Amino acid sequence: MSDWNKQIIEEFRANDGKVGGHFANKTLLILHTTGAKSGKERLNPVATFEDDERLVIVASKNGAPTNPDWYYNLVANPVVGVEYGTEQFQAQATITSEPERTELYEKMVNEFAGFAEYKEKTTRVIPVITLTRLN
């Protein structure tokens, strides 16, 4: 895990799911995935918003040409752990398809303006994932 992710996770846990800096006043979750190859637990802070009973996350990787590693982990193992605010629960990850993918991506842009830039920086279609609580 990068030092940056580690610092965000520590701040998130110490402040009931809130962090400062670049993510001040934004909603994050900590995504627990199982490594597709290693089988080891991986933790990643991820921007999110609520859509009815689901949480929505985007595999943007800041507009990089490839998806983030956590995306491949949840494709291989779609039952994930989620830390959201002060809650911890299991969720079913579902990759959205069109037209829902685009609709949810635009909602993410409304929450986090940087996602508009990420879409422009890459030629790949950035995956949008919904997380539905299991417990």
**For the chain, what percent of residues have pLDDT higher than 90?**
87
- Check whether 3 has a pLDDT greater than 90: no
pTM passes above 0.75? yes
Taking only the tens place, the pLDDT of each residue in 86-104 is 999 999 999 999 999 999 9
Please give the pLDDT value at position 26: 86
Mean pLDDT of all residues in 31-52: 95
Local confidence band at 76 (pLDDT 50, 70, 90 cut-offs): very high
Local confidence band at 28 (pLDDT 50, 70, 90 cut-offs): very high
- Check whether 34 has a pLDDT greater than 90: yes
Short-list 88, 80, 76, CA closest to 32: 80
Average pLDDT over all residues of the chain = 94
129 by Cβ neighbours in 10 Å (0-12 / 13-18 / 19+) ranks as buried
Distance of CA 41 to the CA centre of its chain: 15
Domains and CATH numbers, the chain: 3-133 (2.30.110.10)
- Check whether 1 has a pLDDT greater than 70: no
Torsions phi, psi for 3 (to 5 deg): -60, -35
Please give the pLDDT value at position 21: 84
